[in-house]
Amino acid sequence: MKTKGINHLALVCRDMEETVRFYTEVLHMPLFKTVSLPDGGQHFFFDCGGGASVAFFWWPDAPAAAPGIASVKRFPSDPKTAIGSMNHVAFHMDEAELEASIARLQAAGVPVTPMVVNHDDSAQGVSAQMHPGVFVRSVYFTDPNGIMLEFAATTKVFGRDDVSHKPASATRPMEA
């Protein structure tokens, strides 16, 4: 089996009109396909670049949101979500676009991390300064449905040394 990447990620929204407005007007992702479902729901697709899309389902009787279970409760102070949930969606962006994206989101009234987050391999996982160990620079925000989104710019080419941790197991303690 050989996959070619992500075709689409399907999420659930509380209001399709509000979601279309956010993804087309704020994030500038073209709406390219709409589907009316036989159960009264809708399924809409947005082009997020690189041949991938983000899609939303809407149903008039969908269960309510469950922050802290099915979505992030509060980032960065409470980022955990339940097993089987989706934590966030990261859209690739050129590094040169990150600062401007903060201003664009703020102009649209979207709460956003006030600065670009530099992800590195330090004990904290982030650095206040850009340095050669930073592997991704990010901006975080949420959509109208409470879904955490990220604009992420990879800043290095990954190699063998970037895979250095043993996977944790629920049945035995994590090794250092």
Topology given in CATH for the domain delimited by 1-61: 2,3-Dihydroxybiphenyl 1,2-Dioxygenase; domain 1 (3.10.180)
pLDDT digits (tens, 9 = 90+) for 51-86: 999 999 999 999 999 999 988 888 777 888 888 888
**Contact assessment for residue 19 and residue 13, using Cβ atoms and an 8 Å cutoff:** yes
**Environment class of residue 71 by beta-carbon count within 10 Å: exposed (0-12), middle (13-18) or buried (19+)?**
buried
pLDDT higher than 60, residue 176: no
Confidence check: pLDDT of 142 > 80? yes
Q: Is the pLDDT of residue 173 over 80?
A: no
CATH annotation of 73-158: 3.30.720.110
Q: Where are the domains of the chain?
A: 1-61, 73-158
Residue 115, exposed/middle/buried by CB under 10 A (0-12, 13-18, 19+)? exposed
The yes-or-no answer to whether 1-61 and 73-158 have a common fold is no
pTM for this predicted structure: 0.87
Query: pLDDT of 89-131, one tens digit each?
Result: 999 999 999 999 999 999 999 999 888 999 999 988 999 899 9
The tens digit of pLDDT for each residue in 16-56 reads 999 999 999 999 999 999 999 999 999 999 999 999 999 99
User: Nearest to residue 33, comparing CAs of 76, 149, 42?
Assistant: 42
CA distance 80 to 70: 9
Query: What totals of helices (H) and strands (E) does the chain contain, helices first?
Result: 2, 9
